Amino acid sequence: MEDAPIEDGENHKDIDVAPALISVHPAQESVAVTVGSELRVFDLHGGGSAVSLVDDSHGPFHKDSIRAIRYGANGKVFVSAGDDKLVKIWSTESWHCICTVSSEKRVTAVALSNDGLHVCFADKFGVVWVVDLDSVDSNQALVNKKAVQMLAHYCSIITSLEFSPDGRFIVSADRDFKIRVTVFPKKPLDGAHEIQSFCLGHTEFVSCLAFVSTSEYPQGFLVSGSGDSTVRLWNISSGSLLDTCEVEVKAGLLESNRRGEECNSAITDLCTIPDCTMIAVAIQSLQGIVLLSCDLSARTLSIAKVVSIMGETFIPTSSRASFSAGLLWMVAGVSNLRGFDHPSLARVRIISGFNKSNLDPQEFEPIVLEDNEIPGGYKLLEKLQGSVAVEEKVFLAAAEAVKTAMSNLLVKKQYSVEKREFRKRTRNDRKTKQ
Amino acid sequence: MLETKASPNISKSTGLPRKRFYRARAHSNPLSDSHFPVPISPSHVDYSLHYPHVFLPSSDQNDSSKKIQFADIGCGFGGLLISLSTLFPETLMIGMELRDKVTEYVKERILALRVANPGQYQNISVTRTNSMKYIPNYFEKGQLSKMFFLFPDPHFKEKNHRRRVISTHLLDEYAYALGVGGIIYTITDVEELGEWMKACLESHPMFEALTEKELEADPVVELLSSATEEGQKVARNGGQTFRAVYRRIMPPL
Ligand SMILES: C[S@@+](CC[C@H](N)C(=O)[O-])C[C@H]1O[C@@H](n2cnc3c(N)ncnc32)[C@H](O)[C@@H]1O
């Protein structure tokens, strides 16, 4: 029997297009942006400086599109991984690659345990792997580590991986509309077998996960975004759905946003800020972000504000908040764009005003920073965006390409009956005894 | 789901569906994308379609707290469900089957039995689904008390082992769907698969083997090799069977 090509997506040409990603050090000591296989890091110490990465293992750092990046909770390590089936662990002090782990399949998501001792990553076949960092010393030379399987979603693409704020659970989301909450065991290398709950309710692929937590609710609440264009709030201990926010409808985006397409715009990214109940939501085709506010005692989600980015085409592909300075860092960009002079591009923008003091969504006044106002200034932009100035229409094409790639990868194919029959007829596994 | 209507595929003499009209490919690929409806969550499973006598539509007298407790995974032509139906008349059971024609056959078979035996066979039903992907969509945590895996497809080749319906990762999901004390029954005529299923169960922290005594006392055990079509075929050919029956236990702290 042949494997159905859809299950792993490796046969798709279009998905080579990868959205740009951004991640900010928890204490805003550095910022990392990826575009395709390129990892760009800017150090914000002092006046700021571009970082040169050092990796003694192989030639280029990554050989194919990077799909997931993340800083550890304590900021000491940084992890990057993606289509080249490599997971690289970097010391954020020296920016040396201290460990490269090989994966059997392309990597789609990474997470670090809150104590910093384990790196977990998910692959295109739905398996979550774990590596222990015990013996990895940030000042030591490269160590080669092996990952072991910890849990699996049967043959689904895992889109997001997140630890609960108290570290008790690891949460994984997939293309089959499913979110699984698993007890993170004392010995993760022996596997994570105890499923706490499934959070079921989305009616399309789940694209992103995040936790909202405050000192009052330290265990936090899970929020998820999906291709069904909703953001949902969950109780992870029971798996029950607490609230659903139809972001496009509620934010009044449907009119201006929908250019005759019948399908809803997917939620592409969620970003929460520790100790803050605000959630930044990136949506396909929206120039800017929607801020949701989460009422943790009433367990509801509501639209706080739509922050539009004027004056240029900016549809964020990834956003991460840096809470120390009340900033939300966003990137819009893509790699491997066909038919343009600049196949890769990235644009970084920042929204300020996420200080804890003005938590009240009514009074909250977000400000989109001008390029000369951002930390690191033009030097940072030059490093993270690359030096080329890019035309408007390229950004539009980039947003379109990211959208197409996402739906090719994650939206279930709806074959007509005839097509399905044709696919069946042309399979090479028909020599079955009747 | 199980609506009553005359069908040309039903035998006039016995009133039961004729198997030859429901031949299908011997194996389906459990990995390929699905084209059948999947309930969004267990609360979306429409019990009144599956068990219309137990859950009368638009009636308040429903015993609506009743839930499915037995699941026959890869039920094939449904022989086990039919035997269990009268053995546990108060228990709701469902067969899960990937092949659509086979599922249709089981549906017709149950309907015909309901007609021929008024008041009976109201507690069994069947659904077309890929059990490897959608168990959590059908059952809440701890809802099931028995799960059956009788004569599953062997998938001999090493690279196809991940298609096996018993694996360490899938056992995590079965352990979720089974309540503590619930029992998982497996049987096969393929020695290698029998070893594999036993090894997966043995090494899983949330399952323990039933003792010989417990196996003898359990009336279901003897059905494993005799109730299903596959079991009967193996018996006819004098084949050996390999059984592994395990109980869901609390995970060690
Ligand atoms: C060899 S038959 C055994 C049938 C029955 N249990 C018996 O003993 O006669 C295995 C059955 O499992 C079904 N099956 C295989 N993979 C499945 C899956 N992922 N979900 C549901 N059914 C599946 C096949 O279609 C087939 O009918």
Least confident interval from A335-344, A356-365, B111-120, B195-204: A356-365
Mean local confidence (pLDDT), B68-85: 97
Domain-embedded: residue A122: yes
How many domains is chain A built from?
Answer: 1
B102 Cβ below 6 A of ligand 1: yes
Domain-embedded: residue A425: no
B61 band by pLDDT with thresholds 50, 70 and 90 = low
Least confident interval from A50-54, B29-33, B96-100, B138-142: B29-33
Higher pLDDT, B173 or A352: B173
- Who among B42, B137, B168 is closest to A191 (CB)? B168
pLDDT single digits (tens) A264-303: 789 999 999 878 889 999 998 888 899 999 999 999 999 9
Nearest residue CA, atom 5 of ligand 1? Answer: B76
Mean local confidence (pLDDT), A407-413: 79
State the pTM of this model: 0.89
Active site residue B153: yes
pLDDT over 80 at B35, yes or no: no
B26 CA to centre of ligand 1 in angstroms: 9
Domain-embedded: residue A142: yes
SS3 letters for chain B? CCCCCCCCCECCCCCCECHHHHCCCCCCCCCCCCCCCCCCCHHHCCHHHHCCCCCCCCCCCCCCCCCEEEEEECCCCCHHHHHHHHHCCCCEEEEEECCHHHHHHHHHHHHHHHHHCCCCCCCEEEEECCHHHHHHHHCCCCCEEEEEEECCCCCCCHHHHHHCCCCHHHHHHHHHHEEEEEEEEEEECCHHHHHHHHHHHHHCCCEEECCHHHHHHCCCHHHHHHCCHHHHHHHHCCCCCEEEEEEECCCCC
A159 CA to centre of ligand 1 in angstroms: 29
In this complex, do A197 and B141 lie within 8 Å of one another by their Cβ atoms? yes
A426 band by pLDDT with thresholds 50, 70 and 90 = low
Contact residues of B toward A, CB < 8 A = 23, 25-27, 29-35, 40-42, 132-134, 136-137, 141, 160, 162, 168-173, 175-176, 204-206, 251
Would you state the pLDDT for residue B62? 52
- Would an 8 Å CB–CB cutoff place A412 in contact with chain B? yes
Q: How many CB atoms lie within 10 A of CB A135?
A: 9
Domain-embedded: residue A427: no
Domain-embedded: residue B78: yes
Of all residues in chain A, what percent are helix, strand and coil, respectively (each to 5)?
Answer: 15, 40, 45
Q: Which residues contact A381 (CB under 8 A, 6 or more apart)?
A: A348, A371, A374
A411 band by pLDDT with thresholds 50, 70 and 90 = confident
B30 Cβ below 6 A of ligand 1: yes
Domain-embedded: residue A341: yes
Domain-embedded: residue B70: yes
pLDDT over 50 at A53, yes or no: yes
Domain-embedded: residue A47: yes
A364 band by pLDDT with thresholds 50, 70 and 90 = confident
- Who among A1, A3, A415 is closest to B27 (CB)? A1
Structural domain boundaries, residue A329: 18-252+263-411
Q: Which residues of B touch A415 (CB under 8 A)?
A: 35
B12 band by pLDDT with thresholds 50, 70 and 90 = low
Token digits of residue A59: 């030639």
In this complex, do A429 and B132 lie within 8 Å of one another by their Cβ atoms? no
B159 band by pLDDT with thresholds 50, 70 and 90 = confident
Q: Which residues of B touch A192 (CB under 8 A)?
A: 172
Q: Which atom of ligand 1 is nearest to the CA of B133?
A: 19
Q: How far does B118 lie from chain A, in Å, by closest CA?
A: 34
A414 band by pLDDT with thresholds 50, 70 and 90 = low
B99 CA to centre of ligand 1 in angstroms: 8
Q: How far does B36 lie from chain A, in Å, by closest CA?
A: 11
Would you state the pLDDT for residue A429? 45
Contact A320, A22 (CB under 8 A): yes
Computed over every residue of chain B, the mean pLDDT equals 88
pLDDT over 70 at A351, yes or no: yes
B78 Cβ below 6 A of ligand 1: no
pLDDT single digits (tens) B199-244: 999 999 999 999 999 999 999 999 999 999 999 999 999 999 999 9
In this complex, do A200 and B25 lie within 8 Å of one another by their Cβ atoms? no
Q: Which atom of ligand 1 is nearest to the CA of B102?
A: 27
Domain-embedded: residue A431: no
In this complex, do B33 and A201 lie within 8 Å of one another by their Cβ atoms? no
How many domains is chain B built from?
Answer: 1
A257 band by pLDDT with thresholds 50, 70 and 90 = very low
Domain-embedded: residue B118: no
A54 band by pLDDT with thresholds 50, 70 and 90 = confident
pLDDT single digits (tens) B183-207: 999 999 999 999 999 999 999 999 9
Q: The domain spanning residue A220 has which CATH number? A: 2.130.10.10
Would you state the pLDDT for residue A390? 65
Q: Which residues of A touch B34 (CB under 8 A)?
A: 412
Would you state the pLDDT for residue A384? 92
Q: Which atom of ligand 1 is nearest to the CA of B96?
A: 21
In this complex, do A193 and B171 lie within 8 Å of one another by their Cβ atoms? yes
Q: Which of A198, A234, A414, A429 should one mutate to test binding to chain B, selecting the residue with the greatest count of B CBs within 10 A?
A: A198
Q: Which residues of B touch A173 (CB under 8 A)?
A: none
pLDDT over 90 at A151, yes or no: yes
- Say if residue B9 carries a ligand binding annotation: no
pLDDT single digits (tens) A292-303: 999 999 999 999
pLDDT over 80 at B30, yes or no: no
Q: What are phi and psi of A111, to 5 degrees?
A: -150, 150
User: Mean pLDDT highest for which of A137-146, A320-329, A412-421, B138-147?
Assistant: B138-147
Contact A330, A316 (CB under 8 A): yes
Mean local confidence (pLDDT), A337-365: 77
Among residues B63, B72, B153, B189, which one is catalytic? B153
B96 Cβ below 6 A of ligand 1: yes
A389 band by pLDDT with thresholds 50, 70 and 90 = low
Domain-embedded: residue A183: yes
Nearest residue CA, atom 24 of ligand 1? Answer: B74
- Say if residue B253 carries a ligand binding annotation: no
Structural domain boundaries, residue B95: 63-102+138-153
Q: What is the DSSP string of A87-132?
A: EEEEETTT-BEEEEEE-SS-EEEEEE-TTS-EEEEEETTSEEEEEE
Q: Which residues of A touch B26 (CB under 8 A)?
A: 432-434
- Would an 8 Å CB–CB cutoff place A191 in contact with chain B? yes
B153 CA to centre of ligand 1 in angstroms: 7
